[in-house]
Chain A
């Protein structure tokens, strides 16, 4: 069953089209991530779901209840949708406890107990209740903001780049904590981010936005492996894209013959491989029988646990231009040095990109 349904949502600011015909279904209990470069309209979409902005046209329903349609719109305070913005946006004139209790209709002891319970659930120490927002670290502020949003038992939780203000180490930890917490509470969640690795790790449904359009949605692994077009492929991670001729399940390209997931014949198309699908083998002797094609390492970018290599393929005999350059990932410690001759072979299928 789906919690949230968006039907052909459109929104313009003057001549500027912010959102164009957005359709999306968010299944109950899922974690959906909307990812896109800045200015792609993802935050606008989120604010529209929260009820801070309204679409020019389109329909929005939550658990079967219509939130927005051409004739009426439910205001934000009647939607029961939790919202956590980038910086937490704690009320500066209220203590931690007052912030968390803001959305509670309970009174007295019951309220205090519920606040303590919420603080415990986001791993905040009980003695922080009387602190002021400016006395908290960034991570603590985020957790208070999350507890505040959880207090009203939201039907849907919206997170607007909640981790991007935190430093790298804290970020991953917070992401795990939030994912577990929301899964335990069984709250359907939508997260917006421009960080593709965060999106891939947090999501069980990923939606990619670009220039106000939702270009592709699905399981993160599927999107990573089978992106619709080159832009999406590159946005979700490093990619090796090259032209090829497709014939009976095989792609003929500069890397030789590679199996593909597409059986249309006699067609020229772009194929995509992830750098981790390429494998390098150092050439020990001048033996000819090794698989793949010969190449030379031209650049080495060492970054600890991995090493990104640029290799130049040996030019084919018929062409007179230099060989194609490829990006290959290698283990940081055992990467071949610059200038060494290698064999490049591929693992798994290549993905045929649709023409865009």
Chain B
């Protein structure tokens, strides 16, 4: 880790900004906030710096032999096919389900809406565990696409449903008054307005496809991530693993670029003033209703029925024997401990950046923020490899300690905390803090009494999201955790690797129970952003 002196931090800040921020932050406080944000962003850039550094060190000749070989081509084809087939399927399914729950009079549509988000509560590798134990021969690309769609389509359903709820129905009325048929209205007016939601959701799904290890390892489908993991296990920290990680990181960056190009600069907010009317509800004919209900039933059966039935089967078959409390309880305890510590650390680290982005938005702040977003879009395995290498070489005392694991969580999940925290701080306009100061409170006291109090709900939501992400995290924990660490995820993984599916079932059940609040929170948040 580069040792960052205060003077260096100060030098990194352009002079005009320091000058201008004087009023907003009342002097020295501002420099501290900016300094901490810069420090966080430098830390976030470490995995990318690691990849570049390793590439330079390896040299072009070795690099070329490692990169241009049939194995890499094979992995690339696998990954591209997986992404290219899964994402369109997820988009189609997400749009169809969202339209049915938000814009049609489908019976029980509130329940279907909840059930469409519920698969998120099941970790992706538990999905594939369920499929493998239900249909043991399942493997390869088909299996990869099937389980990926089932595990990740809610990431598209959620934002699309929220956007559909928020769209101004007056625009559709106008389109219809211009003589467009209902189908034309949907394709020419409604669908284009879903672009941001579709882009954002598709990016999220794509990054998960690239980063996921457990899901694909279980059904024996090779992607970059599984290959890096195997390579790491056989040759530890060699250049082969590093170069694969480099290609994987490039894939992620390419995906970010494609998404931001697809997103464009268009404005999709409602232009008029006043609040929009309730959206129009389309009355389905009997045939369409039956078709829609079939779609929902099949989707739920695949995405919820299969995992729950499999789990139930193993739990019944295993009986009381599988509840090995002596192993289960420490795993639960360790998961909670890591989750709480990681959530607290990540939320605290997000405070300076969130603060800057609300109170002093500018070019520097945007650069700082995008550093964190880029790193968090890198797969956990790349972050983990970077941390292994850096700690082995530069910070031996923290190698294979909890500190390194927490650092990985911080790098991977910071944006989750950031987004919620930023919304929270936006609830507290700077004027309130000014008033508190004019009433005789020092800047620090004013921050504590007003802004942090008002931002607390947002911070709590962010911390909860991070906690739940950590409790299901597998890859980085496997690579970085000190010997003897056994979380629910790694415990589950160890048992399934021994094909002891019955003993793994209680771990899966506990993970699902821990994740249920996440699902509730997401459902609640999506309703709130829709203004209800």
- Residue numbers of A with Cβ under 8 A of B are 13-14, 47, 50-54, 75-83, 85, 89, 91-93, 102-103, 148-149, 151-152
Residues of A within 8 A of B429 (CB): 89
Evaluate contact between B454 and A92: CB separation under 8 angstroms. yes
CA distance A102 to B450 in the complex (A): 11
Residues of A within 8 A of B440 (CB): 77-78, 80, 103, 152
Nearest Cβ on chain A to B360's Cβ, whole angstroms: 13
Residues of A within 8 A of B432 (CB): 89, 91
**Secondary structure call for the A interface:** loop
Q: A77-B438, A83-B438, A91-B436 are in contact. List 10 more A-B contacts (CB 8 A).
A: A50-B434, A75-B437, A75-B443, A77-B440, A77-B443, A77-B446, A91-B450, A93-B453, A102-B439, A149-B438
CA distance A113 to B48 in the complex (A): 62
Residues of A within 8 A of B438 (CB): 50-52, 76-77, 79, 81-83, 149
Residues of B within 8 A of A83 (CB): 434-435, 438
CA distance A89 to B443 in the complex (A): 17
Judge if B329 is at the interface, Cβ distance under 8 Å.
Answer: no
Residues of A within 8 A of B427 (CB): 92
Evaluate contact between A54 and B434: CB separation under 8 angstroms. no
Nearest Cβ on chain B to A102's Cβ, whole angstroms: 6
CA distance A197 to B427 in the complex (A): 35
Counting contact residues on chain B (CB < 8 A from A), the size range is: 20 to 34
Query: Which 4 A-B pairs have CB atoms at the shortest separation, nearest pair first?
Result: A103-B439, A53-B23, A76-B437, A83-B438
Residues of A within 8 A of B436 (CB): 91, 102
CA distance A235 to B446 in the complex (A): 39
Contacts A/B (CB < 8 Å), 9 sampled: A54-B23, A75-B443, A76-B437, A77-B439, A78-B440, A83-B438, A89-B429, A92-B454, A148-B435
CA distance A180 to B22 in the complex (A): 37
Evaluate contact between B434 and A75: CB separation under 8 angstroms. no
CA distance A77 to B29 in the complex (A): 15
Taken residue by residue from 241 to 256, chain B's Cβ proximity to chain A (1 for < 8 Å, 0 otherwise) reads as 0000000000000000
Evaluate contact between B437 and A51: CB separation under 8 angstroms. yes
Of A52, A53, A77, the contact of B441 (CB 8 Å cutoff): A77
Question: Closest B-chain residue to A85, C-beta based?
Answer: B431
Nearest Cβ on chain B to A154's Cβ, whole angstroms: 8
Judge if B27 is at the interface, Cβ distance under 8 Å.
Answer: yes
Residues of A within 8 A of B20 (CB): 13
Judge if B16 is at the interface, Cβ distance under 8 Å.
Answer: yes
Evaluate contact between B16 and A76: CB separation under 8 angstroms. no
Of B26, B435, B439, B450, the contact of A75 (CB 8 Å cutoff): B26
Nearest Cβ on chain A to B100's Cβ, whole angstroms: 36
Residues of B within 8 A of A149 (CB): 438-439
Q: A13-B20, A103-B440, A148-B439 are in contact. Are A76 and B434 (CB under 8 A)?
A: yes
